[in-house]
Structure 1
Amino acid sequence: MASPAETRTPVRSRASIAARTLRTDRWWVPPLLTTLGLATFVIYAGIRSFMRTGYWDAEYHYLTPFYSPCLSDSCLPGSAHFGTPIGELPGFIPLAFLSLPFLLGFRLTCYYYRKAYYRSIWFSPPACAVAEPHAKYTGETRLPLIVQNAHRYFFYVAFLITLINTYDAIVAFRGGFGLGNLILVGNVVLLWCYTLSCHSCRHVTGGRLKHFSKNPVRYWIWTQVSRLNTRHMQFAWLTLGTLVLTDLYVWLVSTDVISDLRFIN
């Protein structure tokens, strides 16, 4: 009778392929487009966050989300919806310095964005059947990727900031009703869809439940969040676009480059 060692399937080494990949399609297009899309948003948002102009329209009460909440004495009169508990800020500090780092952290640690920039920027891997340039893989156990584990905490702050953005959109109706109001509200609705479709939100609503039947309310909420979660990727990209559109519209209206289309004054 043959021993176990004799009947074991022979171990074969990996195929030795000199080429980085044998793929003949344009596999590099999706990572490239993702990099360009994310880079465009980061550059635009970064520049706008430091400009300190065109972020508040006093006539129609439009406040861009890139400057919300504005809590400094450096804020234009009327733009500080929650007062100014902070004094003057030097020019190298964004007026929304309390919210922007958390929103950036929320986006960077988002499960969809991890997939997007792991492939397009971190090259881990850049595409299926394409070797990654890293010598070894340590996952999210070391810097800088270990920060990804803080996603659930960024979610709590992002939820609060979305509430603030909602308040900003409501305050804008004090100036009447115009196209800018529709843009602000549309942006907030999509921000809620993105925030609530987050995987951390699913865990908050339905995590650690052993019996859904004993928690019908939480189960119903969890099912609704789960439905949104299937479109988390779409909401992630849509909100980047609506954030830029909202900011650009407020910028152009507040600087009198264009006139707001008014429905009710």
Structure 2
Amino acid sequence: MSAPPIPPAVSPASSQPRERAKIRVRTLRTDRWWLAPLLTVLGLVAWVAYATVRAFMQKWYWVDDYHYLTPFYSPCVSNGCVPESAHFGRVLPDVWFIPFAAFSLPFLLLFRLTCYYYRKAYYRSFWLSPPACAVSEPHTKYTGETRFPLLGQNAHRYAFYAAFLISLINTWDAIQSFHSPGGFGFGLGNLILVGNVVALWAYTLSCHSCRHIVGGKLKHFSKHPVRYRAWTFVSKLNGHHMGLAWTTLATLAVTDFYVMAVSAGWFSDLRFVG
């Protein structure tokens, strides 16, 4: 016997189905709900402006004395790259509109744009969809991520593989920086490069796609103890994905600025050994 249908909620006074409250104002919140999206806009715009200028500057990216290579130019694959900085060869023409790291920057941009956290960040801050909880958005129709260009968000799982490979390249760059022409040594630049690599690995491995790759499609964790431990570790990182997303923007900018400053001769590297 099927259960009887549940009657709609009715108003005691009119015995008619209840309607949603019609609120004319955009929100009833009295706190500064607009501050978070505003700061997000300012932070992302400032970082993108800096990164764009540096990617097309095509100078002050390599410190030959200590083999420091900024991550904005890694891997350096243009014919305009200093030969010592091109660890994987020089194959691209040397023209101003092609970044020296053209093989990596598009994939890193795709990885960040399709990242689950960054989607939330720019959906709320740039598109106001919605700008905050309990605040109405200006859009009258919602189609989710089923249409172009948002349909491309599904490429995130594939961009992860490229980001993983690029993190390996950044790790190699950091290792190479300990072996300068004068032999083994390290300075403040080495610590900055290594710190940036550690932060990049934490952000990359905390990705939701990585979490699915490590522990997805398993019905019994007890039968896969190694994958379960890896999934547990990635899950803990995943809880800090938002913080790591912003942290890596900061470490990338600091690392690039430090290499640029030393390369330009604004100040010398602080050496500890060698």
TM-score (norm: length of structure 1): 0.95
> Deviations along 1:194-224, whole A, 9 cap, x unmatched?
0001110011111001111111111111111
Structure 1 equivalent of residue 173 of structure 2: 168
| Residues 83 and 20 of structure 1: CA distance in aligned 2, closer, same or farther (over 3 Å) | same
Percent identical pairs in the alignment equals 67
Counterparts in 2 of 1:5 and 1:228: CA distance versus 1, 3 Å: closer
From 101, 120, 124, give the equivalent of 2:129. Answer: 124
Superposed CA deviations along residues 125-171 of structure 1, whole A, max 9, x for unmatched, are 00111111111000010112111111100000000000000000000
Cα distance, 1:18 vs structure 2: 2.3
- Structure 2 CA distance, aligned partners of 1:31 and 1:50? 29
Pick from 239, 249, 257 the counterpart of residue 230 of structure 1. 239
For structure 1, list consecutive stretches of 5 or more residues without a partner in the other structure: none
User: 1:12: how far off?
Assistant: 2.7
Quick check: 1:28 aligned with 2:34?
yes
Q: Secondary structure at 1:24's aligned position in 2?
A: coil
Deviations 1:6-34, CA, capped at 9 Å, x for gaps? 87633233322222222222111010001
Q: Per-residue displacement from partner, 1:171-196 (whole Å, max 9, x unpaired)?
A: 00012211000000000000000000
* Pair 204,12 (structure 1): closer, same or farther in 2 beyond 3 Å: same
SS in 2 for 1:78: helix
What residue number does 2:194 align with? 185
Give the unaligned 5+ runs of structure 2: 11-15
1:142 aligned onto 2:132 = no
TM-aligned CA distance change 1:14 to 1:209, over 3 Å: same
Please report the TM-score for the alignment, with normalisation by the length of structure 2.
Answer: 0.92
1:11: which partner in 2?
A: 17
Q: Decide which moves more: 20-29 or 90-99.
A: 20-29
Q: Deviations over 1:57-116 (max 9, x none)?
A: 1111000000001112111121101112x1423101111111111101111111111111
**Farther off after superposition, 10-19 or 178-187:** 10-19
CA RMSD across the alignment: 1.6
After superposition, residues 1-265 of structure 1 pair within 5 angstroms as 9=10, 10-84=16-90, 86-175=91-180, 176-265=185-274
What is the CA–CA distance in structure 2 between the aligned matches of 1:172 and 1:194, rounded to whole Å?
22
SS at match of 1:221: helix
Distance 2:208 2:202 in 1: 12
Seen in structure 2, the aligned counterparts of structure 1 residues 88 and 14 have a Cα distance that, compared at 3 Å, is same
Question: For the residues of structure 1 that align with 2:31 and 2:231, how far apart are their CA atoms?
Answer: 40
The answer to which of 243-252 and 232-241 deviates more is: 232-241
AA aligned to 1:65 is P
